[in-house]
Every structure is written in structure tokens, then in C-alpha cells.
Structure 1
């Protein structure tokens, strides 16, 4: 290996360890409603105390990826980037232009199950979801936002009532 390549590899290794924590304030999320959307996907409507669509730009002057809402269906509260929740619902977060008073958002959720061997499949038949929801009064959710050079930002926990989800599933 020549010295140029060694320098490049060393630079990459050093820069990989220089990940900053964003100074975005903790966002409180408030549940609004659940509805059935196109392709029979569940849509979670909620508001936030922080503009999730522009958080990194506003507080860090950095470009961010589209925020993602992740909900745990199995009671797993570990939302860290190093951990995968085995039974979860995920969806990209979009701005709800109809809500003016607070930052309004929605997310069209896809349900996933990660097996022990690491393979994953979606559970949008809802029959597999019903037993998980029957034993819970609510499911915990968080929005994750990422930007290059920063640790993943997570909001405070949003609890979505399972009663409203099951009402949409049984329609």
C-alpha cells in the first residue's frame, strides 16, 4: 500500500469518529389521529414542538434526510441506531399543510417483522398485527432524523392508542 492510500484510509477512519451531537431541542410529539390511507396503509397524524422537516437546517445549518417515524409493536423501547426493533411500523414523515397552529405531520406506516436470522418481511396483512395490539393500550413511537456528520436525532416518545389503530384495521 502506498503512502497516499494509507493517508486516505487514515483520514476516513478519523473522520468517521468525528460525529457531532445536534443541538436540536427535544421535540414533544402529540398524537392527533389514525386513518387508513392509499394501499391500505395506516396513517398516523401528529404534531411536534419542533419543525421536524427542517430541524437540522434550523439548528445546525446542515441538510438532513427525510425524518422517519418508527413504532414498536413488541414493547421494545430501544430506539437507538445500533438496535433493530423486531416487530415495528415505519414510515417517512411528511408535513401536514392543513395544521397551522403547531408543526403538523403524518406518516404512512409499513409494518415489519425481523426474524432471528436477520431476514425481514412486511406484515401489512394486519392479521399478524392484531394479537400484538390486543395486549397493549398504546404503542411507543419516535421520529428519527439523520444528517451527515451528526448522530441520529430522536424525538421524545409519542404513544399511539392501539384502540384507534384497531378501529382502522377492522374497517
Structure 2
């Protein structure tokens, strides 16, 4: 290995430890509604104490990617970046209005099952989702926001009562 490659690898290794924790306050999320939305996806409407699409810009003057709502369907509550939830619902978070600050958001959820080999199966067959909700009182969700140079930011949990999900699934069946 030549000296140039060694320098590049050393620089990359040193920079991986340079990620900062954002000074964004922990956002409280509150469910407004859960219903069947467009394209046969489930639509979650919720409020937040933080303007999620602008959080990194507002608190860190940094650009961010579009926030994502992640819900655990298998009881897994480890929402860390080092861990993958196997059975989940995910959707991009969109502001309900373009007027800032915006604290009301929607997300269209797609259900996924990650197999042991790492492949993902789309679970939008609602008969497959229904047994995952049995014997659960609620489904925990969090919003994940990423920005270059920062650790992944997670909000506090949004709780979706499973009764709301199953009502919508039965309407759709």
C-alpha cells in the first residue's frame, strides 16, 4: 500500500469519529389521526414540538435529509442507528403546511419485513400485518433525521394504539 492510500484511509478513519450530537431538543410527538390514505397506504397525522423538516437548519445551521417515521411492529424498541428493526412501517414525514414553523405532519406508511439474509419484503398485504398487531396495545414510532457530520437524531416515541390500526385494516379488507 502506498503512502497516499495510507493517508486517505487514516483521514477517513479519523473523520468517522468527528460526528457531532445535534443540539436539537427532544421532540414530543402526538398522534392526531391514523387512516387509510392515498395509494392504499396508511396515513399518520401527528404533531411535534419541533419543526422536523427544518430541525437541523434551525438548531445547527446544517442541511438535513427528509425525516422518516419508523414504527416497530414486532415489539422491538431499539431505534438506534446501529440496529435494524425487522418488522416495521416507514414513511417520509411531510409538513401539512408550508408556513413556518410547522408542527403538524403526515407520513404515508409502507410495511416491511427484513429477512435474516438482509432482503426486505413489502408487507402491504394487510392479512400479513394483522397477526403482528394481535396482543399489542400500541405500536411505538419515532422520527429519524439525518444530516452530514451529525449523529442520527431521533424524536421521543409516538404511540399509535393498535385498535386504530386494526380498525383501518378491517375497513380495507
- TM tier relative to shorter chain: over 0.9
* 1:10 counterpart residue number: 10
* 2:77 counterpart residue number: 77
* 2:91 counterpart residue number: 91
Residue pair 2:96, 2:102 contacting (<8 A) in 1 also: no
Is the aligned partner of 1:160 residue 2:165? no
Residue pair 2:95, 2:102 contacting (<8 A) in 1 also: no
Moved more, 3-12 or 22-31: 3-12
Structure 1 unaligned spans of 5+: none
Question: How far apart in 2 are the matches of 1:78 and 1:99?
Answer: 33
* 1:49 counterpart residue number: 49
Shift of 1:132: 1.3
In structure 2, the CA distance between the partners of 1:30 and 1:99, relative to structure 1 (3 Å rule), is: farther
Structure 2 unaligned spans of 5+: none
In structure 2, the CA distance between the partners of 1:52 and 1:137, relative to structure 1 (3 Å rule), is: same
In structure 2, the CA distance between the partners of 1:19 and 1:123, relative to structure 1 (3 Å rule), is: same
Residue pair 2:73, 2:89 contacting (<8 A) in 1 also: yes
Shift of 1:170: 1.3
SS of residue matched to 1:97? coil
Q: Following TM superposition, where does structure 1 have runs of at least 4 consecutive aligned residues deviating by more than 3 angstroms?
A: 98-102
Q: Structure 1-normalised TM-score?
A: 0.94
Question: How far apart in 1 are the matches of 2:24 and 2:128?
Answer: 37
* 1:40 counterpart residue number: 40
Question: How far apart in 2 are the matches of 1:100 and 1:167?
Answer: 33
Alignment of 1:134-145 (within 5 A): 134-145=134-145
Q: Deviations over 1:94-145 (max 9, x none)?
A: 0012999960001000000112222210100110111111211210000000
* 2:66 counterpart residue number: 66
* 1:169 counterpart residue number: 169
SS of residue matched to 1:129? helix
Shift of 1:57: 0.4
In structure 2, the CA distance between the partners of 1:149 and 1:37, relative to structure 1 (3 Å rule), is: same
CA RMSD of aligned residues (A): 1.7
